[in-house]
Amino acid sequence: MAELALVFAGASALMQYQAGKEAKKGYESQAKFKALEGRVEGVKAKEQGTEALRNARKLLANITATARSGGLEPNIGTPVDFGIFNIINPAFRDFQTAKDNQLFIKMQTNAQVEDLLRAGREAKAQGVANALGTLGSGFANYQATRTPNTSTTTTNTSGRFGSDSQRFRSAGSQTRFRSYPDGL
């Protein structure tokens, strides 16, 4: 019976170890997904910055065409000032903001990925610790059931004269009483 309990403790420890390994794999897959998700968000931010510059180029082309059709020189004066202050500067601010967002997304994603990987390592370590604890407890229980418990064993009351059963057996074969003369 004690051996069976030890086997069950070993099986339980193995399952705890496996659970820790599986938890680590789960955290690693979450980390991979989070890294991919972060890269997608980073690309979206970069595309927003590129789109801001593309729109600025279209607007500058529109200003140049409008200025030429109105008889103005597009490279001097009001069209240039209007293009710089109202189109180029905001476009570059939007581009820089998008670039900063891309960097922040990358940093945030890396931190989340590292947190998930750390959680996976801790989950595996916890599984190993639980398995070792279960094995230790199972082995201690096994040892406790295998060694005799001194508080429940019977003590030998025979002493130097033999056991009680030996005295009763021998009592039937010989008389233990002395005969005394009458009157005493």
Give the whole-angstrom CA distance, residue 21 versus residue 27: 10
Q: Which domain holds residue 44?
A: 2-147
pLDDT in tens, 151-167: 555 555 555 555 555 55
Judge whether 126 lies within some domain.
yes
pLDDT in tens, 174-183: 555 555 566 5
Give the whole-angstrom CA distance, residue 72 versus residue 81: 13
Comparing C-alpha atoms, which of 83, 86, 99, 84 is closest to residue 51?
99
Query: How many domains would you assign to the chain?
Result: 1
Judge whether 96 lies within some domain.
yes
Judge whether 154 lies within some domain.
no
pTM across the whole model: 0.63
Judge whether 91 lies within some domain.
yes
Judge whether 72 lies within some domain.
yes
Judge whether 134 lies within some domain.
yes
Percentage of the chain beyond pLDDT 90 is 50
Give the whole-angstrom CA distance, residue 49 versus residue 88: 13
Judge whether 161 lies within some domain.
no
Judge whether 62 lies within some domain.
yes
- Distance between the two ends of the chain, CA-based, in angstroms? 64
The CA-based angle 135-136-138, given to 5 degrees, is: 65
pLDDT in tens, 116-145: 999 999 999 999 999 999 999 988 888 888
